[in-house]
Structure 1
Amino acid sequence: MFRFALSLILGMFALSTAQAKVIGQDVKYWVDGQEMTGYLAYDDSVTGARPGVLVVHEWWGHNPYARKRAEMLASLGYTALALDMYGTGKLADHPKDAKTFMMETMSNIAVAEKRFDAAHALLKSQPEVDGGKTAAIGYCFGGGVVLHAARTGRDLDGVISYHGSLKPMTKAEKGVIKAQVRAFNGADDPFVKPEEIAAIKQEMQDADVDFRFVNYPGAVHSFTNPDADDFAKRFKMPVGYNAAADADSWAQTRAFLRDIFAR
C-alpha cells in the first residue's frame, strides 16, 4: 500500500485565455516506504472529471521538462501527472548519475512496475479524473517504461513513446495489450538500431496491437526536448532538438488522445 498527500506549489500558470488557468501541484506519495514527488496539472476552467495522462520522465529524473509536458496536456483539457520513477530528490545533472538512477530502477522490473502502478492509481483517484479513461506518454527512458506498461497489459487506453528504448523486457502477447500504441523515433538516433525497429513492428503485428511507428528523418535522440542541444555540448552526447519532429509528434499526440478518449 502507499500513502499520498498533495501540497500546492506557489502559483498558477496562465493559459492563453483570461479565465482558464492551469493549476500545478506537487504530489507526494509513497511506494514501499520511499517518498516520490510527482506533479499534477489540470485546467481549472474545465468542469467535471476528464481523461488523465501520465507523463514519464527522461533518464535525468523528474525534471522541469516532464512538468512542462504535464502543463501542456492540462492546457488541452486533460489532467496530467508527471510521475517520479526514482524517488524524491533523485534528479541527475550528469549522464553518469542518470545512468545510475535508471539502472537502480530497472534492474528490478517489479519495483519499476510498482512505481508506475502507484502513480497510475494516484492519477485515477483524483476528482478531476475519469478513472476509466487514462493514457501514458514517456520520453527516452520514460518511453521504454510506457511501452513496458502496454506490453504487460496495464489498463490504459493509449501509450506514446518519444525517442524511447524499443527493446522489450517482456514481449507483447496477443490478447494482453489493452492500449493503442504509438512510437515516435528519430531516424538518425544511434541508440535505436534498425533491427530493433523491425522487431517491435513484428512484435506488435503478431500481438494484433493497434500500433503506429513514426521515424523522423534527420532527427536524433531527445528530439522533443529543447535542452538536448545543451546536453550535446556539455556532455558530447549524440542528442539534439528537432523543432519539426517535435511539432509533428505533438500534433499527432493531440489527435491520438482525442481519438482514444472519444471511444
Structure 2
Amino acid sequence: MTMSIQTREIHYTAADGSTLIGYFAAPTQQTATAGIIVAPEWWGRNEYTEQRARELAEQGYAALAIDMYGDKKVTTDAKQAYEWMMQTFEQADTVVLRATAALETLAQQDEVDATRLAAIGFCYGGKVVLDLARSGAELKSVATFHAVLATQTPAQPGQVKAEILVSHGELDSMVSLEEVENFKTEMNAAAVNYQVLILENAKHGFSNPLADERAKANQVDLGYDAAAEKTSLTAMYELLDRTLK
C-alpha cells in the first residue's frame, strides 16, 4: 500500500556559493520519518530524479531530489551534461560541498527525522553519494545504480559510517568491471560494510526507462533493463528498510 504524499521545491545554498533547488517529497503524515537524498544522473535534477523521490515518499520516506548544477539546470544533450558534470570536478570539494548542503537541508525539514538519513544516486549521482559517504557524512546507508565508482578521495578506515550497496551492470562500458574490483579493494581496505550486485547483461543506465532514447539521440552506450531495474530497486528498499526503520 502506497502512502499519500506532498511535494515542494526547496531553495538552498552550498558553501561554495551555488544556489541550488531541490525537489522534496514526503508522506502526508504527522510523525517525522527517515530522510533520503536522491542524486541525479548527469542530465541534472530532472523528472526521472523527481519520480524516484516520489516513489520513496510513497513507501514512507522523506526524499530530496538534489540539484548539483545550480538553478535546477537540466539537459538531454550528453555534451552539455558532460560539461556541467566536469565543472563540478574542477574544484576537489565541490561535489561534497553541494551534497552536504543538500543533506543538511533535508535534515532540517519538519517531516524528517535527522537521526535517520540515507542517500541514493544514479550514474554521476552515484559518485556524488559515494563521495559524500567517503567524507564521513552521517548516513545510515547509501545505494547506487550504474555509478561512477572512481574517486580522488578514497575511503579511509573508520571514516565511512554508511552501509553501501552498489548495483552495477555487467555490460557497462562506461564503468568497467576492473573499476568495480578497484572499488571493492578500496572498500575492503577501509573496512566498509558494503555489497556489490553485478546485474547480468545490463548496460549503463539500466534503471532509467529513457536510457534507450537517450542512447540513440546522443550515440552513447546506455540501455534500459527492466529486470535489472527491479532487482536493484528491491535490493535498495531492503537496505533502506533494514537501516532506517
Q: TM-score range by the shorter chain?
A: over 0.9
Measure, in 1, the Cα distance between the counterparts of 2:117 and 2:18.
Answer: 25
- Distance in 2, matches of 1:118 and 1:198, equals 31
In terms of mean alpha carbon deviation, does 246-255 or 25-34 score higher? 25-34
Amino acid at match of 1:214: L
Deviating beyond 6 angstroms after TM superposition, the runs of 4 or more aligned structure 1 residues are none
Distance 1:223 1:167 in 2: 19
Alignment of 1:75-154 (within 5 A): 75-154=58-137
What amino acid maps onto 2:112 in structure 1? V
What letter corresponds to residue 227 of structure 1 in structure 2? L
- Give the Cα separation in 2 of the matches to 1:250 and 1:89: 25
Alignment match, 1:3: none
Q: State the number of aligned residues.
A: 244
1:51 aligned partner:
34
Unaligned segments of structure 1, at least 5 residues:
1-15
Task: Write the letter of the residue equivalent to 1:179.
Answer: A
Q: Structure 2 regions of 5+ residues with no counterpart?
A: none
| C-alpha separation in 2, matches of 1:137 and 1:104 | 22
User: Structure 2-normalised TM-score?
Assistant: 0.96
User: Could you tell me how far apart the structure 2 residues matched to 1:70 and 1:249 are?
Assistant: 16
Comparing both chains, which one has the higher relative contact order based on Cα–Cα distances under 8 Å and sequence gaps of 6 or more?
Answer: 2
- Partners of 1:231 and 1:257 lie apart in 2 by 29
Counterpart residue number, 2:22: 38
Alpha-carbon offset, residue 194 of structure 1:
2.3
CA deviation after TM superposition for structure 1 residue 201, in Å: 0.9
Q: Any conservation in 2 of the 1:90–1:101 contact (CA below 8 Å)?
A: no
Distance 2:31 2:91 in 1: 38
Structure with higher Rg: it is 1
Q: Bigger shift: 110-119 or 134-143? A: 110-119
Q: What are the Cα deviations for residues 65-89 of structure 1, in whole angstroms up to 9, with x where unaligned?
A: 0000000100110000001010014
TM score, norm. by length of structure 1: 0.90
* Secondary structure at 2:215 match in 1: helix
Counterpart of 1:73 in structure 2 is 56
